Amino acid sequence: MQYWIMGGGGIGQALAKACIARGEHVVLFSRTDPKLSQIHWLPVDNTDEQALAAATQDLPLPDRVINTLGMLQQGRQQPEKRLEQLSEAALLNSIHINTWPTLAMAQILATRLTRTQPLLFAALSARVGSISDNRGGGWYSYRISKAALNMALKTISIEWQRRFPAAMVVGLHPGTVDTPLSAPFSRGLPEGQLHTPSQAALNLLEVLDTRTLAHSGRIFAWDGKEIQP
């Protein structure tokens, strides 16, 4: 099988390694070279739709595309504890990284998909993007950008059901995974609740392997359980 993996962070790299171990072919799009053997790395900022279009134009369409981009805090941008800490700039930056690249890649794929071309397009979301599951509040920019991502996935799925009925789109929650994104928040988690990136990658591939077209537009956690929007 051919994979395109967007993002070479903790989970992106672990997914790439897990796919290679299964004998799959992987093209990884990221800003820095992960220096992983057998992986075809393309230097791309995945938030830049023109760079993505240029990087993909000569590649054959893959069987699966997985977007692993995500940002919870960066530089001076911190997850908000209260409303007063939210700024328009932070919100737009979160949407730029957490929401837009999935839509940009979907636009690129849509220029090449046909009615009979099978494709599985997955994006890593987060349980905190669920509106019905929001019990703790806070983290405005992250929650809103992930809720918007979930809406984007659902809306793409409806359009593709009509135009490209062999293509499906799902969101994935990887669990709490030991990566730079979670590191500031995962201290003190009970034993067993912090997954290694390699375990998370295997869990996510298992979820993808067991999805069918009937699952398109829905969000699933690492254990295969559906997350309500």
Ligand X SMILES: NC(=O)c1ccc[n+]([C@@H]2O[C@H](COP(=O)([O-])OP(=O)(O)OC[C@H]3O[C@@H](n4cnc5c(N)ncnc54)[C@H](OP(=O)(O)O)[C@@H]3O)[C@@H](O)[C@H]2O)c1
Residues forming contacts to ligand X in the complex (CB under 6 A) are 7-12, 30-32, 45-47, 68-71, 97, 124, 126, 173-174, 176-177, 179-182
Query: Nearer to ligand X by C-beta: 45 or 209?
Result: 45
| CB 218, CB 158: distance < 8 Å | no
Task: Taking the CA atoms of 193, 196, 197 and 198 in sequence, report the sign of the dihedral they define.
Answer: negative
Query: Nearer to ligand X by C-beta: 44 or 113?
Result: 44
Task: Taking the CA atoms of 106, 112, 113 and 118 in sequence, report the sign of the dihedral they define.
Answer: negative
Query: Nearer to ligand X by C-beta: 11 or 113?
Result: 11
To ligand X, the closest distance from the beta carbon of 163 in angstroms equals 26
To ligand X, the closest distance from the beta carbon of 219 in angstroms equals 11
Q: How far apart are CA 157 and CA 92, in angstroms?
A: 24
To ligand X, the closest distance from the beta carbon of 15 in angstroms equals 9
Query: Nearer to ligand X by C-beta: 121 or 164?
Result: 121
To ligand X, the closest distance from the beta carbon of 166 in angstroms equals 26
To ligand X, the closest distance from the beta carbon of 113 in angstroms equals 23
To ligand X, the closest distance from the beta carbon of 72 in angstroms equals 7
Task: Taking the CA atoms of 12, 13, 16 and 17 in sequence, report the sign of the dihedral they define.
Answer: negative
In the complex, residue closest to ligand X by CB? 9
Q: What are phi and psi of 172, to 5 degrees?
A: -130, 135
Query: Nearer to ligand X by C-beta: 31 or 163?
Result: 31
Strand 219-221 and strand 167-173: pairing? parallel
Query: Nearer to ligand X by C-beta: 77 or 155?
Result: 77
